[in-house]
Amino acid sequence: MTNLRLAWRKSLNGVMLTLTGVAAFGVVAVLFVILGFLIWNGGTSLNLAFFTQLPRGEGEIGGGMANAIVGSLKLLFLAAVIGLPIGLLAGVYLAEFGGKTFAFVTRYTTDLLNGAPSIVIGLFAFSIAVLPVKHFSVLAGGIALGVMVIPITVRSTEEFLRAIPNSLREGAMALGANKWKTIATVIIPAASGGIITGMLLSLARVAGETAPLIFTALNNQYWSPGLSQPSASLPVMIYIYALAPYDDWHRQAWAAGLVLLALVLTANISCRLILNRKGSSRSV
């Protein structure tokens, strides 16, 4: 009787522990399946025209996504200009000045903003940057992405500033520097590696965002000069091309997917390796 029970417990142990391993490796396998499909389908579709030519009309074969690549870069630049300064300084406030209640409220709101669905942030950008001027623009798209950059930058900046030992602050103050000089010339430079990596990670995250762009930056078949016109972007092009009924557009959607994924993963891998080497095991 007891032997039977022991055998049952032991086999249950073996089966369940094996299943947990299968689950872990199964999930990791998904990553490689995704990579495999994109490299296979995207790699065979990539060509020089993809990087140098404008999109062709509906159903026409050939053409590329040069304007979407430039558009994505422009959107990222705007997101950086709008989001990074707010994120950085708010992070400095939380780590160095923050009082009790206000800092708590800010931190909490930042987390909630971080969890807000990206499509809702698109609605927000539409309300403040498209409706008043009555046309879609790359600026509106940049605002949407910029808002998404803020919470990630705030939390990573705060974390890296907090990791700087207090002895550095005390040392600087003992030499006669006041607080802001200590922060600007000692603390931030000491944490700069981590802070910049965190910023790059936040940009990598919004680089693939589609939902906030489809009714802010919209799309454009041509180049989009300046800030006030609609612009193509890689994620939106993937969305539109994948749903279109043309084989050649599907081919280009795969190519764009490969380019986008390569960018996002390269940024992620290099940032995370740098962070790990700095001894911070926490993922941003």
Residues 255-284 that bind another protein (CB under 8 A): 257, 260-261, 264-265, 268-269, 272, 276, 281, 283
Q: Hey, which residues between 61 and 80 contact another protein (CB under 8 A)?
A: none
| Number of Cβ atoms within 10 Å of the Cβ of 168 | 14
| Binding span for another protein by CB under 8 A among 49-57, 68-76, 159-167, 235-243 | 235-243
Least separation in angstroms between CB 247 and another protein: 11
Of 50, 160, 239, 249, which lies in the binding site for another protein, with binding defined by CB under 8 A? 239
Closer residue to another protein in complex, CB, 66/264:
264
* Identified binder of another protein from the candidate list 52, 61, 179, 228, rule CB under 8 A: 179
Per CB under 8 A, 82 contacts another protein: no
Paired with 55 in beta bridges are 63
Kindly write out the interface string for residues 106-145 of this chain, putting x where it contacts another protein by CB under 8 A and - elsewhere.
Answer: x-xxxxxxxxxxxxxx-xx-xxx-------x---------
Contacts 24+ apart (CB under 8 A), 2-11: none
Say whether 63 sits in a helix, a strand or coil. Answer: strand
Size of the site for another protein (CB under 8 A): 99
59 lines the binding site for another protein (CB under 8 A)? no
User: In the Cβ-directed half-sphere of 99, how many Cα atoms lie within 13 Å?
Assistant: 3
Query: Which is it for the CA torsion 106, 108, 111, 112, positive or negative?
Result: negative
Q: If you search the block for the tokens 């705007």, which residue do you land on?
A: 78
48-75 burial, b if ≥16 CB within 10 A, otherwise e?
Answer: ebbeeebbbeeeeeebbbbbbbebbebb
**Residue 192 found at the interface with another protein (CB under 8 A):** no
Options 64-72, 191-199, 220-228, 233-241: segment touching another protein (CB under 8 A): 233-241
Measured from the Cβ of residue 14, the count of other Cβ atoms closer than 10 Å reads 10
